Structure 1
Amino acid sequence: MYKLKFFIDFEKEEKWLEQMARDGYHLQHVFFGYQFRRGEPEEATIKVDYRVFKNKEDYIDYCMMFEDSGWKHLAGTKRSGIQYFQKMDDAAEDDIFSDQASRAARYKRYAKVSLESAYSFLPLLVIFYVTDIINLEAFVNPTALYLTPGLWDKTGTAFWSAFLFETPFALMRGFAWSFIPITIILYLFFGYKSNKLYAQHTK
């Protein structure tokens, strides 16, 4: 089963995943949403960390450290950042973090990566503007995006057929670049919220 959901608060995400396990849905994969397998309901202890690794060896060592401590790595990759663990050994500790400071630090790491990602898109936005890929005229005169000769002189069915056919292409010509500022805004929002959560957890 696939669920499209998004969390910034890791503790809320943990509680939701534990509830899903109680309902018989067990996490298998996370990529633009959550993939679950149907199984027997169980009381699961699931924890979320945030770490990005530069090389595969460090990532493997990180996963093995938790495996040796009684925690199974459920989902996440060396570049995904968010890592999911489930307690498998009854003798293991109930948390993967040793104290409140290390638990809060995951929000700081998430904020840092989010803000760095936002800043990395700024040069591309400037390049798009300088090379006229960003079409500001589209906001003032959207009809300029329609290139069908004589479109605005057509009437009735002929007009609507031509208009509806070209509209997707017009939108792509005028606003395809908009994913960059939207991405920047989202990353800035994630960074802001993560920093706020970090502050809350360090009080």
Structure 2
Amino acid sequence: MRKYKFFVDLAKEEQWLNEMASQGYVLAGKSGASYRFESGEPGSFVLRIDYRSFKHAADFEDYRLLFEDSGWRHIAGTKSSGAQYFLKKTADQSEDIFSDADSKAGKFKRLSEMWFSLAVCFLPILTALVMAGNIDLTAFLQPAKLYYTPGLWDKTGADFWGAFLFETPFALLRGFIWLILPVSIVLYAVFAAKARKQYNKTLNKI
């Protein structure tokens, strides 16, 4: 069985995957937003998610073996993917892959740093576009100037609507595609703040 979901909160993702396992659907693989499940005995599996990336394949293999020696099977994740998924067959639903609070909270700290670094990476690009004059803020007030079809505004009836509807997607791209940058920066900053909040919450809870 496959399901498609997108998460930015590892805690919510882990909770959902364990709820699926409690119903007899055990995670068997993951690619992007696609989750592949296999049938398993309800309540007999626990899944945990860590967040860690590696520069070297050997370090990644050592990391996987460390958990597998403790009975945790690596289900999904690559050396550079960040999110790592581990599964263990156990009736103890409280069992964790982490031995202390700092280790458990550390995944949220690393996730927060990742989101923050993405936000910072987009800032120079946005600044360069502004400095080069490639962003025209007057387009919000005068969107008509984004249309290049000669004589468009003198056309009437079907001629006008045909030309207008044809060019509108291109006009929107010309005038507003740059909005992807500030929106992405804000979203990444929000995700970083949420991960940092989860980091502090995890430390205080344990």
2:192 is the alignment partner of 1:191: yes
The match for 1:114 is 115
- Partner AA of 1:130 in structure 2: M
- Partner AA of 1:154 in structure 2: K
Q: How many Å separate the matches in 2 of 1:156 and 1:83? A: 58
Gaps of 5+ in 2: none
Q: TM-score, normalised by structure 2?
A: 0.87
Note the 1:37-116 alignment, pairs <5 A: 37-40=37-40, 42-43=42-43, 44-88=45-89, 94-116=95-117
Q: How many Å separate the matches in 1 of 2:23 and 2:167? A: 47
The match for 2:12 is 12
Q: How many Å separate the matches in 1 of 2:123 and 2:66? A: 38
Gaps of 5+ in 1: none
The match for 1:168 is 169
Question: Closer, same or farther in 2 for the Cα pair 1:161/1:38, shift >3 Å?
Answer: farther
Q: TM-score, normalised by structure 1?
A: 0.89
Note the 1:117-136 alignment, pairs <5 A: 117-136=118-137
**Deviations 1:143-180 (Å, cap 9, x if unpaired)?**
11111111111111111111111111111111122211
Secondary structure class of the residue paired with 1:109: helix
CA drift at 1:20: 1.8
Q: Provide the identity percentage.
A: 45
**Deviations 1:90-137 (Å, cap 9, x if unpaired)?**
89x921000222111111111112112211111111111122332222
Q: How many Å separate the matches in 2 of 1:62 and 1:202? A: 23
**Deviations 1:60-104 (Å, cap 9, x if unpaired)?**
21112212221111122222211111114789x921000222111
Secondary structure class of the residue paired with 2:135: coil
Q: How many Å separate the matches in 2 of 1:130 and 1:107? A: 35
CA drift at 1:142: 1.0
Which stretch of the first structure deviates more once superposed, 63-72 or 40-49? 40-49
Secondary structure class of the residue paired with 2:51: strand
- 8 Å CA contact 2:46, 2:90 repeated in 1: no
- 8 Å CA contact 2:21, 2:46 repeated in 1: no
- Partner AA of 1:131 in structure 2: A
- 8 Å CA contact 1:72, 1:88 repeated in 2: no
Question: Closer, same or farther in 2 for the Cα pair 1:59/1:143, shift >3 Å?
Answer: same
- 8 Å CA contact 1:87, 1:94 repeated in 2: no
2:180 is the alignment partner of 1:179: yes
